[in-house]
Structure 1
Amino acid sequence: MATTTLSLVPLHRNDLPVDTVDLARFLLGKYLVHDLLEGRTAGRIVETEAYPVGDSTNHAYPGRRAYNGSMFLEHGHAYVRLTYGIYNVINVVSEREGTGAAVLIRALEPMEGIECMQARRPGTKPRDLTRGPGRLALALGIGAGFDGVDLCTGHGLWLGAAGGARTPPSPFAVTTRIGIARETHRLLRFFVPGSPFVSGPRKLLTGGGPASG
């Protein structure tokens, strides 16, 4: 799999929808970028999950705590959380400052810095480098220290778009979320139809069906 050299425009805060579900849809087709001294790693977002206000599986549902404080920042910040005591995962904070909600980035199509990703995940097939939230955080070098960082700065760890934020939204499909035990009926998982980089069993990529942004 060849690495692509990307020409990206940073996303500014006012480019991002505030509403959690709208943000989850908007992020499809956008890019998560990590610039380091050894080079850039970046991937196209192909799968997201929304965790809106009032959802009992939202980490902010119990209120502000030491572990979830970044979820109450302005939308466009990162919420990085250790799951299962092993894997970091990255979320994009949504809603207005003081309201806890976020969008989990579940999968990327690796685009730039693939050799660096493979060095962090040796022996992994290219298709699986960033197929899943824990895998993509590891491949892009995203650790706990990135919790609370501003993803709208255009440097370090940031969100970008090819051709600008006003590029027509990607087609998407919607289904139920995976890896949770409650509120499993809600259609809050969004993905790019047909992408081989979407996580989870193929048989689960059904539900609300295809839609357009």
Structure 2
Amino acid sequence: MEHIILVSGKWKVQKTKWLSDVDNERGSILVAANEDTRLEDFVKIILEDYGVDFAENDVELRYLLPKQNQHKQSIDTPPVKIGNDRQFYAFLGLCKVENVRLCVEFKVNRIGGKGAVEYQKQPIQGDEPLCEDEEDTDEEGDRFDYCDDSDGATSDDENFTTYGIPPDHVEEVQGSSTNMISARVVKTQEREPPMSISDLRLKR
């Protein structure tokens, strides 16, 4: 039985050197495993001990080779990834001779993330989209019909005195097809000029 130290964080490269950026909030845990432990079960133990939801998160396991093996490799060689049982058993064999720290990185999986996004996009039931333009039930021609003026007269009355025409010289003529009422002004007859005194005498 091997006791493996797991540290929550992620690897990052600085210049030509790989460093582990530790998540201080989650910290590190100690997990026991042996050759009978499957990688799937090992990952479940990690999720349970860290209190992470396995349905929404994936686990990525990586580690650096021991220092005595690094001189044989390039300095910028990335950390070794554990992705199946065979790679996991190789890591356990290395832990028997070396103290290797395993870095655990939690990533939100695509299925959980996509489901959350789709849920946010769903409209709330019962809400109807608002129309930007609503129909105006009032017609333009009816807005000013039957409006009373400030002096008590309606829009059907016309004050002809403002035009200098007496009302008694106006006749209303009924239109044919349009039923429109038009005003016709009757011309006043011209009066004869007054007679002079001399004309009156001659007339007698």
Please indicate, yes or no, whether the TM-score normalized by the shorter chain is above 0.5: no
Structure having the higher Rg: 2
Greater relative CO, 1 or 2 (CA 8 Å, sep 6+): 1
